[in-house]
Structure 1
Amino acid sequence: MAYDYSKLRGRIKEKFGTQENFAAALKLSATALSQRLNNVNKFTQDEIVLACHLLQIRDADAFDYFFTRKVQKN
């Protein structure tokens, strides 16, 4: 299942400027973060919790950032 991380990407840009800056704060390589944002690998629960803290995302809003399914185009 693929997820749409466009809202998350926007929040990363808003709070950290670049994905590289956010990856460093999340203690991931830029490549590892890119793989997660491109649905190659999945975010772990610990990464989601830390990302929400770093990006100031409320627990109640986490679903919108991490679990919105990507709409498949036919």
Structure 2
Amino acid sequence: MTIDTDGLQHIATFCGQCNCGCPELYLDPSADEERRVVISDDFGQRIQMSVRQLADLVADARNGVLDEVLAGA
């Protein structure tokens, strides 16, 4: 299942090594600031967040916050 990407600016595909509908990151320039970032999953679902929330997530990842989660996976 895929999401409607009309009007969205594609930023990144996570995985991209298959045809499974990998998670993707988009920007929606027409959305309210609190919903500008769109992340889709391979089940056709999506989450929306602000650019600030994405920046916090990226900073946490850079600082190792997610390392413990990934080590247990």
Shorter-chain TM-score: what band?
Answer: under 0.3
- The higher relative CO (CA closer than 8 Å, separation ≥ 6) is in 1
Q: Structure 1 or 2: larger strand share? A: 2
* Structure (1 or 2) with the larger CA radius of gyration: 2
TM-score normalised by L of structure 2? 0.26
